[in-house]
Amino acid sequence: MIKTDEILQKDQKLWDLFSAREEYDTGTRDPYDRFPFSASSNRNICKPLVSKYLIEHGFTPEYPDNRSFAVCLTHDIDGLYTSFSLKTEYALRNLMKGSLSGFTHYLKKSPLCNFKDIMSLEEKYGATSSFYFMAEEAGEQDYAYRVDDLEPVLKEIVDRGCEVGLHGGHTSYLDPEEMTRKKKHLEKVLGRNIVGYRNHYLRFRVPDTWEYLRNAGFLYDTTFGYPDQVGFRNGMCHPFRPFNRTTGKPVDILEIPLTFMVSTFDGYMKINPSKAWEMTKYLIDTVQQYHGVATVLWHNNDVIGNHRKFYEKLLNYCAKKDAWLTSGQEIATWWNQKGF
Ligand SMILES: [Zn+2]
């Protein structure tokens, strides 16, 4: 096993990028208290410079069955039900975009209870994935469902080889007590341990959130990416143990950094579908080149209409490249067993 921190510390610039030094130095935050890409000095966001350096200096990650790279498939479950007016609005929006399948889907049923459809789609490509559920109480911001009502759904997800993880609420990223309470709540409903985490709205504070997650007993996190930009936030396209610059010590948790969420392309970057697909292929090809892990986020309400087609195209593209298409839990377990 090679010591990646020691290798990186020999190159000050890369070490600063890896350890997210700029996020300690600047007080710039967006209205959701997130460090925005616009405040970053990293203008090579789509190049995993730190991972490249590690590979060039002897880092040799491996994957099951000699596959050359992995894709971590994830879904944040922000909502389950839609009101009649919202359903109509979604249906019309799909119709205006020219998606007849999206239009009829929304008219026919509650569009967000689509877990079976998501899993069946993934199974066609030999894939499994992670579903991150919220455990909010009535009255909390963005409370949209009672997770206690979902016991059969959660159990089916796990029975089909997928993962149930925690989607922390708006304030969980800075509140260790809340984080632990929600983890226990979800564990009680599921009847087993929860090891994976992503915070709602990708709210995250370097390095505190990592410390809280470690203390709460999580194995890994996948929040670390930008909502407003696709790419590699700290130059890494591999899972890594974060380094806390305040304590001067690594944090014993695995970060599986987020590469992109599909809604970033149209919602934030305002790029058209063909450009989004070109960029997706570029990111996947880059991760394959460095034998890394590409983490993608499709909310359950994104596996519908044109975004569902985009998702299937991605699964197909990655399956043809013989990627390991799997959940965060599988990747974290493998990474820890191998001691990378
Ligand atoms: Zn969310």
| Selection from 72, 261, 233 nearest residue 162 by Cα | 72
> For residue 178, which amino acid is it?
E
Centroid of ligand 1 to alpha carbon of 133 (angstroms): 9
Q: Which two tokens stand for residue 296?
A: 């993608």
Q: Is the pLDDT of residue 21 over 60?
A: yes
Centroid of ligand 1 to alpha carbon of 101 (angstroms): 25
* Higher pLDDT, residue 220 or 144: 220
Centroid of ligand 1 to alpha carbon of 79 (angstroms): 9
Centroid of ligand 1 to alpha carbon of 86 (angstroms): 18
Task: Report the length, in residues, of the chain.
Answer: 340
Q: Mean pLDDT across the chain, nearest whole number?
A: 94
C-alpha to C-alpha distance for 229 and 45, rounded to whole angstroms = 8
Centroid of ligand 1 to alpha carbon of 66 (angstroms): 34
Q: What is the pTM of this model?
A: 0.92
C-alpha to C-alpha distance for 98 and 19, rounded to whole angstroms = 44
Centroid of ligand 1 to alpha carbon of 75 (angstroms): 9
Position 104 scores a pLDDT of 75
Centroid of ligand 1 to alpha carbon of 166 (angstroms): 10
Centroid of ligand 1 to alpha carbon of 176 (angstroms): 18
| pLDDT confidence bin for 3, thresholds 50/70/90 | confident
Position 144 scores a pLDDT of 86
Task: Name the one residue in this structure whose structure tokens are 């708006």.
Answer: 170
Centroid of ligand 1 to alpha carbon of 76 (angstroms): 6
| 48-57, 143-152, 223-232, 272-281: the lowest-pLDDT one | 143-152
Q: Is the pLDDT of residue 137 over 80?
A: yes
Q: Is the pLDDT of residue 195 over 60?
A: yes
| 57-71, 105-119, 128-142, 212-226: the lowest-pLDDT one | 105-119
Measure CA of the first residue to CA of the last residue in the chain; give whole Å.
6
Position 101 scores a pLDDT of 76
Centroid of ligand 1 to alpha carbon of 80 (angstroms): 12
Separation of CA 106 from chain center: 25
C-beta of residue 24 within 8 angstroms of C-beta of residue 206: yes
Centroid of ligand 1 to alpha carbon of 214 (angstroms): 21
C-alpha to C-alpha distance for 247 and 294, rounded to whole angstroms = 29
Centroid of ligand 1 to alpha carbon of 55 (angstroms): 33
Q: Is the pLDDT of residue 315 over 80?
A: yes
Q: Is the pLDDT of residue 65 over 90?
A: yes
| pLDDT confidence bin for 309, thresholds 50/70/90 | very high
Position 82 scores a pLDDT of 63
Average pLDDT over residues 65-77: 98
| pLDDT confidence bin for 19, thresholds 50/70/90 | very high
Average pLDDT over residues 257-281: 96
Centroid of ligand 1 to alpha carbon of 116 (angstroms): 20
Position 336 scores a pLDDT of 95
| 20-24, 90-94, 226-230: the lowest-pLDDT one | 90-94
Centroid of ligand 1 to alpha carbon of 283 (angstroms): 23
Centroid of ligand 1 to alpha carbon of 95 (angstroms): 25
Position 60 scores a pLDDT of 95
Centroid of ligand 1 to alpha carbon of 299 (angstroms): 8
Position 333 scores a pLDDT of 98
* Partners of 214 in the β-ladder: none
Helix (H, G, I), strand (E, B) or coil at 286: helix
Centroid of ligand 1 to alpha carbon of 270 (angstroms): 20
Contact residues for 110 (Cβ-Cβ < 8 A; gap 6+): 80, 81, 82, 87
Residues 270-303 have pLDDT tens digits of 999 999 999 999 999 999 999 999 999 999 989 9
Q: Is the pLDDT of residue 111 over 60?
A: no
66 φ/ψ angles, rounded to the nearest 5 degrees: 60, 30
Q: Is the pLDDT of residue 96 over 90?
A: no
Centroid of ligand 1 to alpha carbon of 77 (angstroms): 6
* Higher pLDDT, residue 219 or 106: 219
Cα-Cα-Cα-Cα dihedral sign, residues 285, 67, 158, 196:
negative
| Nearby residues for ligand 1 (ion, Cβ within 5 Å) | 76, 78, 200
Centroid of ligand 1 to alpha carbon of 202 (angstroms): 7
Determine the Cα angle at 304 with ends 301 and 307, to 5°. 95
Position 258 scores a pLDDT of 98
Burial of 249 (0-12, 13-18, 19+ CB in 10 A): exposed
Q: Is the pLDDT of residue 91 over 90?
A: no
Centroid of ligand 1 to alpha carbon of 263 (angstroms): 12
Helix H or strand E segment including 188: helix 176-190
Position 85 scores a pLDDT of 64
Centroid of ligand 1 to alpha carbon of 248 (angstroms): 31
Centroid of ligand 1 to alpha carbon of 36 (angstroms): 17
C-alpha to C-alpha distance for 107 and 326, rounded to whole angstroms = 31
